[in-house]
Structure 1
Amino acid sequence: MKKTLTLLLAGASGAALAVPAAAQDNSAFTGPRVEALAGFDLTKAGSDVDNDVDDDDDESIDGFMYGVGVGYDFAVGGIVLGAEAELSTSTADTEVEDGDLEDLGFGARLDTGRDIYIGARAGILANPRTLLYVKGGYTNARFNFEADDGETELETDLDLDGIRVGAGAEYALSERSFVKLEYRYSNYSEGEFDFSEDDFFDDDTGESGRFDADLDRHQVALGVGLRF
């Protein structure tokens, strides 16, 4: 009986010691963080506006995305929750290079501008050094548009509002440094132009009226960051 009681006490003591140890397993993934991001960026017309007529017209642009992000993560039981924000841009662009429009003296160019994201994420530990997570939030993207018909030039910005969802894995190099890889999908459903000509203004704000949009964005991003 005495031996059995000793074993039970030893087991209870071990379990008590294991609780704080398990709680500390999340320490490499909690606290404030900053990160640099880079990866692949593809933007294309959504299903509502894709013409689906010409197979050679994929209505998409792609390029290299890069940016910075900040966030704060905390543990709730065995789950890591966090808030995050990101500012990025991309080299993706397109322009009228040939065809009837160019023959008529019309030219146009679309460049990808800045992209702002604010959202949250939730993750679980796959092992003490690897966090698997999902994310979601609000994104506002800007595209720079230029057009010239031989007589009139138009230069304006197109601002689009949408939502972003994604998933990824973060690996702790140490308690203060990490790398991560994630996929993100964004859909922009509303937009407005910032015209440079007064004739286009709907009011005194210098912005056109808002309109419905359908633009899909796919990104694969690699991140490297530090925790504090």
Structure 2
Amino acid sequence: MKKVLVSLATASASLALGVSAPAMAQSTDTSFTGPYVEAIAGYDINKAGSSIDDRVSATARDKADGFLYGVGAGYDYDFGKVVLGAQGEFTDSTAKTRFDNGDPENFGLGNVNAKRDLYVGARAGFKAAPSTLLYVKGGYTNARFGVLGTDGTNSSRINLDADGWRLGAGVEQKFGTNTFAKLEYRYSNYSKAEADFRDDVPDSDRFNVDLDRHQVVAAVGYRF
């Protein structure tokens, strides 16, 4: 009888360990592999590039800033200490031209408000700790700006679609198995653009621009 009880106790202990071990591994999972979605918010600054002198007065600011918000998605693969992945974003912004005593702070374009921004790119990072990833990123961005134009008599608003590139760096922290948070800085430069007119007027030919964009963003997300 004692041998039977000992055997049952041993079997029960083995079964308990077998069940708890995967559960413990799941709760302390530090892998960054898999698809994810995230919500993004932060500070957006739009300025003329280095080739543009847009200051209309000694006191005018030369930037349009505001609140950035949007969503992102991507897929990462964890190679151990190194993580590689692809990602995309759709964001919008409240940044717009301000006025200083009637003069527009125009950052090279005139009366402008920032609109949607599309981004697709890649990132590479290394683990500073099992659940902490430091990373850099880069890719293509297409930004839309609403521009109010005038010939001195009539005014009309058009959309300006600008193509450019983006570089950034940040830190990602895992919380539990699936949730994470990010803090990131990124710089974008736009060098080509086209004007999208209303009332079935064809888009303009592409022309050169020089626009800089600085963003500091935070994100929270879920990895599947």
Tell me the TM-score normalised to structure 2 length: 0.79
Partner of 1:7: none
Partner of residue 154, structure 2 = 152
Letter in 1 for 2:78: A
Question: Structure 1 residue aligned with 2:93, among 87, 90, 110?
Answer: 90
What CA deviation, in whole Å up to 9, does each residue of 1:108-141 have, x standing for no partner?
A: 7421100000000000001011100000000000
Q: Which residue does the alignment assign to 1:225?
A: 221
RMSD: 2.4
- Give yes or no for the alignment of 1:188 onto 2:190: yes
Q: Find the aligned partners of 2:95 and 2:171 in 1 and give their Cα distance.
A: 26
TM-score, length basis structure 1: 0.77
Question: Which residue of structure 2 lines up, in the alignment, with residue 143 of structure 1?
Answer: 145
Q: Which residue of 2 aligns with 1:215?
A: 211
User: Bigger CA drift: 81-90 or 55-64?
Assistant: 55-64
* CA contact 1:154–1:196 (8 Å) conserved in 2: no
Partner of 1:60: 63
What is the deviation of 1:197? 5.9
Once residues 60 and 138 of structure 1 are traced to their aligned partners in structure 2, the CA distance between those partners, rounded to angstroms, is: 22
**Is there any run of 5+ residues in structure 2 with no aligned partner, and where?**
1-24, 105-109
**AA matched with 1:47:** S
| 2-structure distance, mates of 1:160, 1:81 | 28
Alpha-carbon distance between aligned partners in 2 of 1:55 and 1:223, rounded to the nearest angstrom: 37
Instruction: Spell out the pairing of 1:62-211 with structure 2 (5 A cutoff).
Output: 62-95=65-98, 98-99=101-102, 109-148=111-150, 151-196=153-198, 206-211=202-207
Give the structure 2 partner of residue 10 of structure 1.
Answer: none
**Cα offsets for 1:50-90 (capped at 9, x unmatched):** 24674423321000100000000002342100000000011
Q: State the identity as a percent.
A: 54
- In the TM superposition, what is the alpha-carbon distance from 1:195 to its structure 2 partner? 1.6
1:50–1:59: 8 Å Cα contact kept in structure 2?
A: no
> Aligned residue pairs: how many?
193
State the partner residue of 1:46.
49
Aligned-pair CA distance for 1:96: 5.2
Partner of 2:11: none
